[in-house]
Amino acid sequence: MKRRTFIEKSTATTLGALIAPRFFNSKKISPLKGNIQPLVVCTWSFDKASAAALKALNDGKTSLEAAVEGVAIEENNPYNTTVGLGGAPDREGTVSLDACVMNHLGNCGAVLAVENIKNVAALAQAVMEKTPHVILTGNGAKNFALEQGFVAENLLTEESKLNWEKWLKTANYQPVINIENHDTIGMLCRDKDGNIEGACTTSGLAYKMKGRVGDSPIIGSGLFIDNQIGGAVATGMGEEVLKTVGSFLIVELMRQGKTPQEACEEAVARILEKNPGKPNFQVAYLAMNKQGTVGAYSIHSGFTYMHAQEENKIIKADAAF
Ligand code: ASP
């Protein structure tokens, strides 16, 4: 054998040896068979959102259409202070919203720090479908929204304004754990063809610095889907989810054979390893695999999620503390 051929061969073998174990560790993916029942899961107790998304799936809409319609229920709800209209403002009194979507082909779209537009998940979908980009931010995102026919409006409700003014008296920034038992809405839908798609939308942490963006609109952190494996969404202290790329991590752990529950627990464990003791912040994960098995786990107890199939149920997740 010529020396050059030998080097090429041995390189190929070495590379093969390095790469192969990953493939062998991956769970064998078997295609779904039989009658697939549409399924919706979403963070927190947003029962109207999950019901609307399930109805959309049962009406034959795609998983993405269902997710965007479902989360819009909360984006339009002025009494929800963590999403869309009525969302708590930043410390300067401005409501700025973040959202992302991901479809079963692995395409995604996101908008960051958008003002005056409440349906930011639909806007993220428009970024994915109508632009050559994945992310638009701030004024660029807002101008694109206006071009697309979204309506600009004041998102700071009288109640949110009063709460912010009260907050200004101490201006103590301490995100609350399980705020009012609702928060960012992250939703995963699986349609009758078994395709998983989802959306994540939030006003972010109350009284954040102007310009702050958390995990929710960042693909891989607030939301990630691999249609062969499953999907995951996050809620809680976005900085900690970002540092561990939580949703991507969960999908990759499921790829390696972990159940959605085990994968969510491992992703929480990664955060706890970096924050010894009992952290004073909350992070919660929700995951669904291709077979429709669902798992959820949080740092502190109190995290609930919706599971909508035959019934639209609120389920309390297990927690580390
Ligand atoms: N994850 C969101 C953020 O950090 C907030 C939340 O879900 O509580 O912006």
Question: Could you read off the pLDDT of 48-89 as tens digits, one per residue?
Answer: 999 999 999 999 999 999 999 999 999 999 999 999 999 999
pTM, two decimals, is 0.90
The percent of residues above 70 in pLDDT, for the chain, comes to 88
- Confidence class for position 23, pLDDT limits 50, 70, 90: very low
Average model confidence (pLDDT) across the chain: 91
- Confidence class for position 4, pLDDT limits 50, 70, 90: very low
The 10s digit of each residue's pLDDT in 265-319 is 999 999 999 999 999 999 999 999 999 999 999 999 999 999 999 999 999 999 9
- Confidence class for position 17, pLDDT limits 50, 70, 90: very low
SS3 state at 82: coil
Inform me whether the pLDDT recorded for 203 exceeds 80. yes
**pLDDT (average), residues 245-271:** 98
Cβ distance 317 to 304 under 8 Å? yes
Distance 131 CA to ligand 1 centre (A): 26
- Confidence class for position 35, pLDDT limits 50, 70, 90: confident
The percent of residues above 90 in pLDDT, for the chain, comes to 85
Cβ distance 78 to 95 under 8 Å? no
User: Which residues touch 214 (CB under 8 Å, ≥6 apart)?
Assistant: 98, 202, 204, 205, 208, 222, 237, 238, 239, 241, 242
Which numbered atom of ligand 1 lies nearest the CA of 203? 9
Rounded to 10 degrees, what is the CA torsion of 65, 246, 118, 49? 50
Instruction: Kindly state the DSSP code that residue 210 receives in the 8-state scheme.
Output: T
The predicted structure's pLDDT at residue 3: 46
Quick one: tokens of 170?
Answer: 């101490």
Q: What are the structural domains of the chain?
A: 38-319 (3.60.20.30)
> 13-22, 112-121, 128-137, 275-284 — which is least confidently predicted?
13-22
Residue tagged active-site, from 81, 82, 184, 304: 184
**pLDDT (average), residues 261-267:** 98
Q: Please choose from 185, 235, 271, 300 the residue to mutate so as to test ligand 1's pocket, defined by most ligand atoms within 8 A of CB.
A: 235
Distance 195 CA to ligand 1 centre (A): 26
Atom 4 of ligand 1 has which residue's CA nearest to it? 238
CA 201 from chain center: how many Å? 7
